[in-house]
Amino acid sequence: MIKNILTQIWNQRRTNSWLFAELVIVFVLLWFCVDVLYGLVFARLQPKGYDQEHVYKITVNSRKDQFVKMQDADSISRFWWKPLSEVIKSFKQYPGVESVCTSFGTDAYSNNTMFQGYHVDGDTSNVFVSNIRYVDPEYMHTFRIPMLHSIHKNLKDEDWNAINDVTPAIVSAELADSLWGTTNVIGKRFSDYYSPDLHYKVIAVSDPQKNSDYNRYESYIMTPYPERVYKMQAIPSIYIRVKADADNNDFSNRFIKTMSARIHIAPFYIFDIESMKYYKQLDDAQQGVTSEVNNTMLMMSFFTFNVFLGLLGTFWFRTNSRRGEIAIRMAMGSSRKQTAVHFLTEGVLLLAIASLPAAIIGLNIWNADLTVTIHADATVLRLIFTLIITFILMAIITLIGILIPSKRAMHILPAEALHEE
Amino acid sequence: MNTIIKQAKSHIRQQPFFTVLSILGTAVSIAFAMLVVINYDIHIGDITPESNRSKMVFSGEGYSFKTKDHSNANSGMSYRTAKLIFNNIKGASIVSYQRHGTKLYCGTNKNKGKSHFCKFVDPEFWQMYDFKFLAGKPFNKADFQARANVVVINEHIAREFYGSAEKSIGKTCFCDFSPMKIIGVVDNVSSFFNFAYSELWMPFDPTINASDPLYGDITAVALCAPGVSTSDLDDQLHISLKRYNSTLNDYSFELKDMCPVAKYQFFKGHANTTAILFFIGLMLLVVPAINISGLVSSQMHHQMSEIAIRRCYGARRWQLIMRFINENLILTCIGAILGVILSYLMLFIVKSWLLFSDTSLLNYADCRISTSMLLRPEILLWVVGIAILFNFISVFIPVWTATRRNIISTLKGE
């Protein structure tokens, strides 16, 4: 049957040529779109190295009318950090709050980043740049950061103390790999490139970290707050983890209302509380991922609609002009179902033939590095996978497009059709 | 003309399926092409209040670092740095500086406030953009230099605070717990205008110290002087940036994203937007054109003998081609009108989805699309152009091949 259909496709090459050209072009365009989405989905499915479910970020600001600029470290500690820590402490008392943490430096889901260069002791020629995040010990619990290796299964607060001027540090797998070529590096030492007397000792290695869902993995170092932070009138990022059963849509509203009424610690006030989910959306929007997805989907729907229309039209006219042939088939004992299958097979075969040159074009585009590789590498597996997905997608549209005309063909009465001329 | 309409009518009656398919195909592709054009236009067109976009060059974010070892890297630009680079540029008629917009606690008294979007701008801001003042006036140079506590608010805030635009003038509102005098109320600005958009606008602190760092949160926009093109101005600014860098001893300062606004709006000027959009536009036309061509050529089978007979009686080839193109033009016109309606329908359904920007997520974002943003003569002109081009591509080729066939063999039915 397939040989028979192939002969028919060849004989009708004149009318098939338009459809063929369209199938090839749309296959390539659709493949490109699928490839873009593949990159995004691939990056999205990678574990982020932390869990931001039920985590909220609280923005605490200082009131302009109560703000006093201070120079002296002692008064900053007394009139800035002490009241601020009281504010932060009070968050923990709110019902449903599991843990509270603060951080400085590279923020999750934000373009607020801080970088430093690091090297293994004694080797200043190989400097690796890494995101730096100053955190308190609670940070690991709040964000539930999984560790590959760690001196204790659960890090304790006293692990966070510097010993003999050596600061404890948690490095991400990426940074450990850049510095030592392996991730099992507990107890190893390294130093800051720009401030040579800053030394670190690895107390844990975390899973690979990324700043947002669609980014690639980056190097991270998490270490305690340096002394200089306490000499500034700064406000860290504050996060709370809410118990799953206490978390609901109204949580942030109730929290800000209750806490604003309760807390009057000059010069601070609670400005805002938003879930990490919101910051993720905001970050996606700022990075342009949301519009990238939207535009790609829109393009895809346009192309698929056109292929659908093209197939529908071509096969509609085909069943019309081939009424005689269909009638003869039926007269020779072909069932109605077989007639429909015949047309569907013809469509899929045509698509299969068209997908060969399309795949070759795709291969060349891939080879010339013209695919979007911001979010994931262009691997051979990716090429094959996206080509298969595109074929399946096209096959589905082909079948839907031909189904209506072939249904019509099914209902041709052989006697009438053969009688026509 | 009459015969063409008559023929088209009977044609439609005889071939309802072909007609529906052809019109539907045209309408959908015109609608999509329109969406692309509108999307492009909304971002780069000279639309009030950003009515000078085609003459603006934007600084982008700055980036500074120690030249020796790339340490002390910071993003952003300070007011001092911006002034040293952007002041005294020959090709610029106005330069406006603004600080990053931010959410502030604002309200009519200290205890009753809400988060609102505020922008810190200079007096030139009001010349750069075309705001419609409903009451009051913008702040001037004297207010700016005196660091006056004045604020311009939008109509929405005015209504929320004091009931109406007129009633708000001269009243006090609190921004970040400090009292500000409302001196002007402007019409609401859609958040699609990322340069002009805000809810409250107030002057920033213009103090400059020699000890100011290179980094800060200032961006600058320069407007072309008459007769100067944006690329000329862009070149002048890059020269000025180079000159500024030569005055720095240990540091380097970069403005990687500095480019004309029309370029900046897509990919921050780092991709050839025109080429990409041209390619997308081409694909949006070529794919449906092939579709319609395929339909026309299947259709042509039935009209082969008609063509042959007409040619027998002396019709010239181009006459026949024009005949088919004209006939199809009617279908294209119906399709184009439907397409325009469809595109506006789609735009209103998916607007926040299609024209998504980071400001649309802010809970107070105003994603209004006014009719003046859409019903622009340029856009309609585009559609007419697209429709004619579309019709031409999709009909010309199949008809051309059909009329090329041998008359005798066609009439013989070979």
Please write the tens of the pLDDT for every residue from B222-264: 999 999 999 999 999 999 999 999 999 889 999 988 999 888 8
Q: Please state, as a whole number, how many other Cβ atoms lie within 10 Å of the Cβ of residue A94.
A: 17
Indicate the range of A330-339, B356-365, B383-392 predicted with least confidence: B356-365
Give the pLDDT mean for A45-63.
91
- Whether residue A151 contacts residue A164, with contact meaning beta carbons closer than 8 Å, is answered with no
**Residue B199: what are its φ and ψ, rounded to 5°?**
-105, -35
Omega within 30 of 0 (cis) for the link into B206: no
Query: What is the SS3 assignment for A332?
Result: coil
- Please name the member of B21, B283, B360 whose beta carbon is closest to the beta carbon of A313: B21
Query: Is A271 in Cβ contact with B295 (below 8 Å)?
Result: no
pLDDT score for B372: 62
Q: For residue A345, give the amino acid letter.
A: T
CA-closest candidate to residue B204, choices B148, B284, B142, B166: B148
Complex ipTM more than 0.90, yes or no: no
Residue from B15, B102, B266, B287 whose CB has the most chain A CBs within 10 Å, to mutate: B287
For residue A66, give Cα distances in angstroms to A26, A80, A82, B313, B337: 63, 11, 16, 96, 62
In the predicted model, what is the mean pLDDT of residues A312-317? 81
Pairwise CA distance, residues B244 & B78, whole Å: 13
Chain B residue numbers with beta carbons less than 8 Å from the beta carbon of A198 are none
- Inter-chain CB pairs, A–B, below 8 Å: 109
Cis peptide upstream of residue A267 (ω within 30 degrees of 0): yes
In angstroms, the CA A106 to CA A219 distance is: 11
Reply yes or no on whether the pLDDT at A82 is more than 90. yes
Q: At A173, is the pLDDT very low, low, confident or very high (cuts 50, 70, 90)?
A: very high
Taking CA atoms, what residue in A is nearest to B36? A295
Element (H, E) at A285: helix A276-287
Q: Average pLDDT in the B180-205 region?
A: 89
Model confidence at A336: pLDDT above 70: yes
Residue by residue, DSSP assigns B179-241 as EEEEEEEE----TT-TTT--SEEEE------TT--S--BEEEEEEEPTT--HHHHHHHHHHHH
Per-residue model confidence as pLDDT tens digits over A283-307: 887 777 877 888 888 888 888 888 8
Distance from CA of B268 to the nearest CA of A (A): 11
Q: Residue B359 has what pLDDT?
A: 58
Q: What residues of B are in contact with residue A26 (Cβ under 8 Å)?
A: 287
A25: distance to nearest CA of chain B, Å?
A: 7
CA distance A306 to B24: 10
Average pLDDT, chain B: 83
Give the model's pLDDT for residue A421: 56
CB pair distance less than 8 Å for B25 and A309: yes
- The position carrying tokens 């921050």 is B268
Chain A interface includes B112 (CB < 8 A) = no
Contact B298 A15 (CB under 8 A): yes
What local confidence, expressed as pLDDT, does residue B1 receive?
Answer: 64
Task: Say if residue A348's pLDDT is above 50.
Answer: yes
Confidence of residue B363 (pLDDT cuts 50, 70, 90): very low
Vertex A229 angle, CA A55 and A276, to 5° = 15
Mean pLDDT for A71-85 is: 90
Contact B204, B119 (CB under 8 A): no
Q: What does the alpha-carbon distance between residue B231 and residue B263 come to, in Å, rounded to a whole number?
A: 11
Are the Cβ atoms of A298 and B115 closer than 8 angstroms? no
Helix, strand, coil tally for chain B in percent (to 5): 55, 20, 30
Is the per-residue pLDDT at B357 higher than 70?
no
pLDDT at A273 over 50: yes
SS3 letters for B320-386? Answer: HHHHHHHHHHHHHHHHHHHHHHHHHHHHHHHHHHHCCCHHHHCCCCCCCCCHHHHCCHHHHHHHHHH
Contacts (Cβ under 8 Å, ≥6 apart) of A274: A56, A57, A59, A252
Mean pLDDT of chain A: 87
Residue B111 scores a pLDDT above 60: yes
For residues A397 and B271, the model is more confident at: A397
* Residue-level pLDDT at A314: 81
**Which of A400, B27, B29 is closest to B19 using CA atoms?**
B27
Inter-chain CB proximity A282 and B301 less than 8 Å: no
Percent of chain B with pLDDT over 70: 91
Q: In the 8-state DSSP scheme, what is residue A77?
A: I
Contact B314, B323 (CB under 8 A): no
More confident residue, B370 or B43: B43
- Our CA-based measurement puts residue B353 at a distance from the nearest CA of chain A, in whole angstroms, of 7
**Bridge partners (DSSP) listed for residue A237:** A103
Residue B216 is encoded by which pair of tokens? 């800060």
Q: Which of A19, A22, A291 sits opposite B287 (nearest CB)?
A: A22
Mean pLDDT, residues A334-341 taken together? 82
Residues in chain B: 414
Average pLDDT rounded to a whole number, residues A229-249? 91
